[in-house]
Amino acid sequence: MGFFDDYLNFHGRCAEFSSLCAEIVGAASLLSIEINEVIAADGEIIGGLLSASMSSDRAVSVAACNALLDLSTTSIGRNKLLEFSALETLICKFLQVSESSTKFISGCMMSKGNDCCYKIGFIGDELVLLLLDAAIVLVNACNFGQLERIPWKLSEAFLTFLRELWTYVHFQHLGCVGNVCQCDQYEDFHWSSIKTHDLAETIFRLSIKASQIAIPAFTSDMVKREIFDTRHSSFEDFLFDHWEISPLLIKRPSKATNQRNVPFSSFLQSLDYNNQVLLISSLVKNMVSCLPIASGQLDIFRFLMEIRNQLGCPMIYGQDIRVVKTSNHLKRELHFFQESSGPFCGSAPHVLHYEDIIACERAFKEGYTTAIRGMEFRSKSIASVAEELAALFGQPSSGVNMYLTPPNSQGLACHYDDHCVFVCQILGTKQWKISSKPMVQLPRLYEPRQSLHNLEVEMSEGDGKQIFLREGDVLYIPRGFTHVACTAADNGGENDLAPFSLHLTLGIEIERPFEWEGFVHVALNAWLQKQKQSHYESNDSLSGILYTACSNLLHVSIQMVGDSDPAFRKACLVAVHTLPDDARAKLDLNNRANFSQLISKIATKGTFFNAIRRIEEAIEKNEDPFHNLRWLQNLGEDGELIGSEAKNPFLVAENYFGLLVECRHSAEQTFTQLKSEFCSAVVFEDVESIYKMLLEKYKKAMECPVFLVCVFLVLKLEKKMNLQLRMM
């Protein structure tokens, strides 16, 4: 390889030889993984290729970039290139070359039979495209540490270019429906190996880096002051008197126009809300699908691996957006696209293309509400408010939906939510009716909903509270309280006609780890870690196996007690912060009292027989008895999160269920002793610190998508971009 090294570093009169050597190295790296590994291990070759890629001779740079792309076809090659700072070199060269280019990159669709894929092409110099391809490939191979090593100015400049590129690609992606791209008419058109989801992933990753130094638009104190603090109440009053207990209207001063919607002012500025009909289509056409992250997914790069082929996809009906109204006659929801004769009939998800988005304007005129989920992914200001609101209640995240309802209309049918919501009236007004009592006592996330027929009858007969929301007002509805809303005229006489309504609902979803039941599970896990020296190391003995099995059985028992006792379902408030000293002391006292009461209930209600029966029933139904406890497998010693299956504290039920039955008497004694020792020895303070560490891990994982708003952003097109798009 030394022969090639010399020529790869020799330019000028020997440019042809340098190009030829780069081509040979590239071709060799594609022959086999073994040869690729040998080439990647040679620092002089990689250094030569990188030096050649920076050459002023275009042919040499093109050949070197092609060789680098060939070398990066394996993970070994990509990792070696990253070790030699190839990414920084390529981005530097790309920014230099792209600045001098007068042409632009665009996204186009290619068709192969029934399959369509969206690729990126460049009209102009091939070198620009090769540099872009190589940089994107390497960014998408980075881990957190490697992303951190990219100089900030380079990362920001590259990200700015990618955002503009994404604008072009997204709009072409949105507008292409079954037509093959006609780019063959350009003689200097070059196809990239990069797909739209590769571009979206690169923006995703660079956004994570950008988020780490981003200053939030709002702090918890600011959100608390703007939403909760009025002349008559404060956040502390709300926390102790209304949270998960009863609805509350938080009114803004009627004449404080300049103070309305302060947390959402920048979001409002991005809207053209003077034209209600065009408002929704102007929003939706700039958005892409927001893929939900599983609550237990703490590894953001593993999440990327799972969904990378879907990144950048246009809005999906039913997942990202619904266009719905409730018929007064039928008392059920009608979906605009399913009621029409278009391709949206049926229950399968459908991607919204340009003509579908325009159809939303017609739907608005026909009385349909447009509901968009994941607004925290689409606006930095909304993301900031949502994050800080969740922090106020000691939870890792908050989801935000937007609802645009035309005049004299009702969107969603009468229903209750399995999470607490804060309805923030942004524009217009809305009439709400809320039941006087909860339908279900603190329903849990994703549990089957109960029938609402009886409660609908009660509400139609006058039972329930009527609340009229004006701009700036906030309405709190606890989980389980049935409610319905419509745009109606103000009975107070301020308006004769009902205006349209735009509101955001900020939902605090209480995941199981952050219920009080979750706190008890963390307590048991922490206590067991302390006992492992005397019990876990004796796993070869029958007593050690029984102890491990009964430890898992006690988790099942805690879950069963929690299923039947609403006190275990309440949100754990141990991590609530930004409270004055007197309120903090009161909350700490309440938390300790709650924990003590829950432990007492475990001691009296948790039985060996019931836990065994639960596992037996699950096995008979071929279900996982630990399905709702799998989040504990990430919790190691001292709150450290682990992901290895080898360290999973849960055994497969079948592995020890027979032993528990066979040694029933000994197992029951072990279970009873274990429960007694735990309930008498567990200390609140020991659990508190570990619980907060777990919360921070969840917050860190959930915050990554919050700052990916450059992918899921409401993009504003400049006039120049609009002109270029029309010329395509």
User: In which band, very low, low, confident or very high, does the pLDDT at 504 lie, cut at 50, 70 and 90?
Assistant: very high
Residue 184: which pLDDT band, with cuts at 50, 70 and 90? low
pLDDT of residue 475: 97
Structure tokens at 190: 């070059």
- β-pairing, 420-428 vs 350-351, is unpaired
Residue for token digits 């953001």?
300
Are residues 32 and 135 both part of a single domain?
Answer: yes
> CA-based Rg of the chain, rounded to a whole angstrom?
30
Query: Which single residue is written with the structure tokens 């447009």?
Result: 370
Question: Residue 355's pLDDT is what?
Answer: 84
CA 518, CA 311: separation in Å to the nearest integer? 32
Task: Report strand pairing: 474-477 vs 481-486.
Answer: unpaired
Query: What pLDDT was estimated at residue 501?
Result: 94
Point out the least confidently predicted range of 97-111, 207-221, 377-391, 444-458.
97-111
For residues 487 and 260, give the distance between their C-alpha atoms in angstroms, rounded to a whole number: 20
- Which of 224-238, 327-341, 359-373, 378-392 comes out lowest in average pLDDT? 327-341
Nearest partner of 263 among 430, 394, 379, judged by Cα: 379
Q: How many residues appear in the chain?
A: 728
Number of domains in the chain: 3
Q: Specify whether 247 is located in the same domain as 197.
A: no
In a domain, 337, yes or no: no
Mean pLDDT (whole number) for 426-453: 87
Each residue of 123-139: pLDDT tens digit?
Answer: 777 888 899 999 999 99
Q: Encoding tokens for residue 131?
A: 């540099």
Rounded to the nearest 5 degrees, what angle is found at the Cα of 705, between the Cα atoms of 704 and 706? Answer: 90
For 308-323, write each residue's pLDDT tens digit: 877 878 888 888 999 9
Inside any domain, residue 175:
yes
Q: Considering Cα of 422, then 427, then 433, then 436, what sign does the dihedral take? A: positive
Cα distances from 113 to residues 110, 116, 120, 314, 382, in angstroms, run 10, 8, 19, 21, 42
Residue that is written with structure tokens 């999973």 in the block = 648
What is the helix (H) or strand (E) element at residue 61, kind and residue range?
A: helix 58-71
Using the 3D structure, point to which of 495, 510, 525 is the last residue of a domain.
510
Clarify whether residues 76 and 181 are in a common domain: yes
Mean pLDDT of 369-388: 89
Does some domain include residue 344? no
CATH number at residue 362: 2.60.120.650
What integer best gives the mean pLDDT of the chain? 80
Provide, rounded to the nearest whole percent, the portion of the chain with pLDDT above 70. Answer: 77
Contact present, 179 and 113 (Cβ < 8 Å): no
Whole-number Cα distances in Å, 135 to 18, 81, 141, 247, 662: 22, 11, 10, 52, 61
Provide the token pair at 430.
């809305």
Give the whole-angstrom CA distance, residue 160 versus residue 227: 34
Could you tell me which residue, 274 or 21, shows the higher pLDDT? 21
Contacts with 699 (C-beta within 8 Å, 6 or more apart), sequence order: 391, 396, 397
Give me the phi and psi of 116, to 5 degrees please: -120, 135
The average pLDDT across 225-254 equals 88
Quick one: pLDDT at residue 507?
Answer: 96
Is it the case that residue 539 has pLDDT exceeding 80? no
Q: Is the pLDDT of residue 186 over 80?
A: no
Structural domain includes residue 333 = no
Structural domain includes residue 306: no
Residue 95 domain-assigned (yes or no):
yes
CA atoms within 13 A of residue 532's CA, in its CB half-sphere: 10
Question: Domain limits at 492?
Answer: 222-292+350-510
Domain termination residue (choose one: 510, 528, 547): 510
Structure-token pair, residue 401: 């939906």
Q: Name the token pair of 596.
A: 């003590």
Specify the long-range contacts of residues 271-277, CB closer than 8 Å, at least 24 apart: 273/427, 273/502, 276/364, 276/404, 276/406, 276/500, 277/361, 277/364, 277/365
pLDDT, residue 639, reads 40
Look at residue 713 and tell me if it is in a domain.
no
For 271, residues 6+ apart whose C-beta sits below 8 A from its C-beta are: 279, 282, 283
Within 8 A by CB and 6+ apart from 646, the residues are none
What is the rounded CA–CA span in Å between residue 671 and residue 663?
12
Residue 177 confidence (pLDDT) above 50: no
Are residues 190 and 239 part of one domain? Answer: no
Q: Are residues 599 and 672 in the same domain?
A: yes
Same domain, 187 and 227: no
| Cα-Cα-Cα-Cα dihedral sign, residues 402, 406, 412, 415 | positive
**Surface-to-core class of residue 104, CB atoms within 10 Å of its CB (0-12 exposed, 13-18 middle, 19+ buried):** middle
Under DSSP, the state recorded for 214 is P
Cα 689 from Cα 650, distance rounded (Å): 23
Confidence class of residue 450 from pLDDT cuts 50, 70 and 90?
Answer: confident
According to DSSP, residue 239 is labeled H
The model's pLDDT over 512-531, given as tens digits with 9 standing for 90+, comes to 999 999 999 999 988 988 88
Q: What are phi and psi for residue 435, nearest 5 degrees?
A: -65, 155
pLDDT at 416 over 60: yes
Average pLDDT in the 664-681 region? 92
Q: What is the 3-state secondary structure (H, E, C) of 540-552?
A: CCHHHHHHHHHHH
- Whether the CB-CB separation of 40 and 76 falls below 8 Å is answered with yes
- 533 burial (CB, 10 Å; 0-12 / 13-18 / 19+) is exposed
Strand 248-250 and strand 316-317: pairing?
unpaired
Of 228-232, 242-246, 381-385, the least confident: 228-232
Sign of the alpha-carbon dihedral angle for 354, 360, 363, 368: positive
Same-domain pairing of 533 and 476: no
pLDDT confidence tier of residue 433, bands split at 50, 70 and 90? very high
If asked whether residues 228 and 205 sit together in one domain, one would say: no
Whole-number pLDDT of residue 457? 56
What pLDDT, on a 0 to 100 scale, did the predictor assign at position 220?
A: 83
Residue with tokens 């997914």: 297
State how far the Cα of 290 lies from the Cα of 715, in Å rounded to an integer: 15
Q: DSSP letters of 45-60?
A: HHHHHHHHHT-SSHHH
Q: Two tokens at 458?
A: 């009660």
**Residue 141: closest CA among 76, 51, 193:** 76
Query: What's the mean pLDDT in 286-290?
Result: 81
Asked if 90 and 162 sit in the same domain, the reply is yes
| 262 and 410, same domain (yes or no) | yes
Phi/psi of residue 665, each to 5°?
Answer: -65, -50
Same domain, 115 and 264: no
Q: Is the pLDDT of residue 51 over 70?
A: yes
In a shared domain, residues 522 and 489: no
Of 4-18, 108-122, 342-356, which gets the smallest average pLDDT? 108-122
Evaluate whether residue 301 is within a structural domain. no
**Cα–Cα distance, 290 to 185 (Å, whole number):** 35
Choosing from 510, 528, 552, the residue where a domain stops is 510
The confidence band for 10, taking pLDDT boundaries of 50, 70 and 90, is very low
Secondary structure (3-state) at 662:
helix
Sequence-separated (6 or more) residues with CB below 8 Å from residue 306: none
Task: Judge whether residue 352 has pLDDT over 80.
Answer: yes
Highest mean pLDDT among 139-148, 300-309, 491-500: 139-148
Model confidence over 401-412: pLDDT tens digits?
999 999 999 999
* CATH number of residue 156's parent domain: 1.25.10.10
User: Count of CB atoms within 10 A of residue 27's CB?
Assistant: 13
> Which has more pLDDT, 151 or 273?
151
